[in-house]
Structure 1
């Protein structure tokens, strides 16, 4: 909100400055055009002629302190200098003559008053006798200091008006906007929590179908979250996506028949191929919902292996998304250490031995090293927890990340 407010004020300041700058440019351009029209109308003598007294009076009446006239080849023909020219000459640099038809003029701040230094390229003019004379000019024009001062006062007043408007906006409207903004944030948080509740329900439904309980979904998400935090390699947004993926990693198993999903014995080759299809089925499900698609990295890569022997794409090493490498360690450990309809749980030591023995083949060694260090504490913390206790524990852990989903 503050950033938006500052941007609006900045735009207002820029607009006022641009208007002042344009108004100043218009005034200077018009002044230059008017004076050069008069100069060209009067200074039409031949190259051999000198600046007459009458012409000097004309230039003096125009208050021009200095003027040089050149021919079409850039040769100096005439010079006019008023009595005040020596006093303003220092600090009043004259530009080079431009090419034919072009002109340069710049407003400079002099100690006495502002002046316009200018130079024009050769321009064809017609004198009263029908002759065409080519002239280029270089010199100094006086600028009405009163007009410049009034324009600057107008600019200053406009800036004060912007500040006053901004102050009124801040004092009168900003608190109200801030209130509604906070209400919107609150509603947004409630909506995100509703989404998260839906994700949790989906993950639990898949876990119950696979193992008869939601505990696996809660534990594996907790392991994954703690591991991602311990690795210190991910920002909050990244960890939020890992949490989402942990909940939905096996959502594709909805499409796997119970006869295969719950089979106690070893799967046949055909059955295993069908089981592997749960990865693609899961990606297909989340692809239709934008905010669920962030779970795709975990869903797609949690069965890949570090040595490239996994599925579905046989990715190797760091080609496997980091989210999937983190999750796969937690997922396999919980599958080993928890009870399933078709197997008894392994002990903590046996499960850790399996993880260690497959470091560098199935798992990323760097991730395994951190996991081995933190998992005993998490295992003991969750071992005797009921399903509802695990759910409450996980909700507390994921709370800082919910608004990042």
Structure 2
């Protein structure tokens, strides 16, 4: 029996749609999450940095520079800091440097328990601008996160009294607060994006189903038109549509054995349907002549190849049929027509079709002849290897011919139509339908 159509093919197109849609939505979710998450992280980090600078600025600006100048000694200045600042500055500072507006140092303080950290950080410190703005840098020293902050100190008359510059330790509690502050909105954004993706999935799936359904109907219509056109040409040639059905099925099986991919097989189907489409332009006295054609009549008949090329050239969808339409009368030894192509210069689809076209003509009953036996037909095919036919394809065909003829040769037209429809829909739509 011919290779059957698996039941799973009926849903292949929808399965592929689900898979593709899920992959694309997942990719979109990841991209949006990265962008949105990065934006949230950046904004929250900026907010945290602003909060730290604001905290330092709020309390540093309460320092009485004049009092610090009067106190003079570092110990007195330290006591002033403890009394005038709140917990963060007092407990988290590593280094504090307070200067007047001329840049003279008023107080330089190092936390008694953090001198080694201050010494390690010194090479990393770069001067912050001493202007009317606040500035901040983050340093990593000895595994500790340090914040280098500089803020202006206002004078009572509204001017600038000096400048406060501090190096502060970002302790575990502050780090945890920062991470929590970032984590919550970040998780909320990721969940919101995921929720939106899940809500959109069935909507997009429904839209794609409609598009896929419409595409399938259009494609089925195109296939039916190609089949009908081929059958119409066959009837004009005093033949039935059976020949087109059989040679297409024979060609598909030989094409599979020859290793054609689905793209090649689709072209083979269309070419088999339409291989003689150019005969529509051949005058009836020549096309329908019961006896042998004379030389002049044969020249007229040969024109059907070029006419067929012209017909299908007007359709992008039918263009894959060109190899068969243009090449099925070429012969492997170069003695065929219209171009006298030789060997592998003849397209593979044309070489495949040439064998099955002759085989079906030999084994079928025609108004002017009885069918030959399978054995006699195969002997003619075998003897044509290397002259009329591609010898390697002949060998493959001889291995398949008995099975193919038994399964296809005696089927009624309706059964052949159903079989061919399934094969065509499998190749063009991935479904049996």
Alignment map for 1:314-325 (pairs within 5 Å): 314-325=340-351
Shift of 1:187: 3.1
Shift of 1:214: 1.1
Matched, 1:308 2:324: no
Matched, 1:370 2:430: no
Matched, 1:111 2:143: yes
SS at match of 1:315: coil
| Equivalent residue for 2:277, pick from 246, 251, 262 | 251
Matched, 1:157 2:174: no
Shift of 1:357: 0.8
| Equivalent residue for 2:290, pick from 235, 239, 264 | 264
CA contact (8 A) 2:276 2:305 kept: yes
Point out 4+ residue stretches in structure 1 off by more than 6 angstroms: 24-30, 140-145
SS at match of 2:289: coil
> Alpha-carbon deviations, 1:208-235, whole Å to 9, x = none?
122421111111111112222333x123
What residue is the counterpart of 2:34 in the other structure? 14
What residue is the counterpart of 1:2 in the other structure? 22
Q: Give the Cα separation in 1 of the matches to 2:386 and 2:119.
A: 82
Matched, 1:338 2:368: no
Farther-moved stretch of structure 1 (12-21 vs 356-365): 12-21
Matched, 1:224 2:251: yes
Q: Give the Cα separation in 1 of the matches to 2:231 and 2:27.
A: 46
Going from structure 1 to structure 2, the CA distance change for 1:305 and 1:168 (only over 3 Å counts) comes to same
Q: CA RMSD in A?
A: 4.4
What residue is the counterpart of 1:196 in the other structure? 223
> Alpha-carbon deviations, 1:347-398, whole Å to 9, x = none?
2222211111111222222221121111122223334333333323333443
| Equivalent residue for 1:361, pick from 366, 387, 390 | 387
The alignment's TM-score, normalised by the length of structure 2, stands at 0.64
Q: Give the Cα separation in 1 of the matches to 2:118 and 2:260.
A: 67
Consecutive unaligned residues of structure 2, counting only runs of 5 or more, are: 1-20, 51-72, 78-92, 96-109, 125-136, 149-166
CA contact (8 A) 2:279 2:304 kept: yes
CA contact (8 A) 1:237 1:404 kept: no
Matched, 1:289 2:315: yes
Consecutive unaligned residues of structure 1, counting only runs of 5 or more, are: 31-52, 58-62, 66-80, 96-104, 118-139
Going from structure 1 to structure 2, the CA distance change for 1:142 and 1:337 (only over 3 Å counts) comes to same
Q: Give the Cα separation in 2 of the matches to 1:313 and 1:116.
A: 83
Shift of 1:315: 2.7
CA contact (8 A) 2:94 2:118 kept: no
Bigger-Rg structure (1/2)? 2
> Alpha-carbon deviations, 1:70-123, whole Å to 9, x = none?
xxxxxxxxxxx9985754888x9x89xxxxxxxxx99758622x3599xxxxxx
> Alpha-carbon deviations, 1:322-350, whole Å to 9, x = none?
22222111111112222334444332222
Going from structure 1 to structure 2, the CA distance change for 1:256 and 1:147 (only over 3 Å counts) comes to farther
Shift of 1:3: 1.9
What residue is the counterpart of 2:160 in the other structure? none
Q: Give the Cα separation in 2 of the matches to 1:282 and 1:292.
A: 11
Going from structure 1 to structure 2, the CA distance change for 1:20 and 1:203 (only over 3 Å counts) comes to same
Going from structure 1 to structure 2, the CA distance change for 1:374 and 1:28 (only over 3 Å counts) comes to same
> Alpha-carbon deviations, 1:288-327, whole Å to 9, x = none?
2222112122212222222333223333333322222221
Going from structure 1 to structure 2, the CA distance change for 1:356 and 1:168 (only over 3 Å counts) comes to same
Going from structure 1 to structure 2, the CA distance change for 1:106 and 1:284 (only over 3 Å counts) comes to farther
SS at match of 2:237: helix
Q: Which has the higher contact order (CA 8 A, sep 6+)?
A: 2
Shift of 1:185: 2.4
Shift of 1:141: 10
Q: Give the Cα separation in 2 of the matches to 1:279 and 1:143.
A: 85
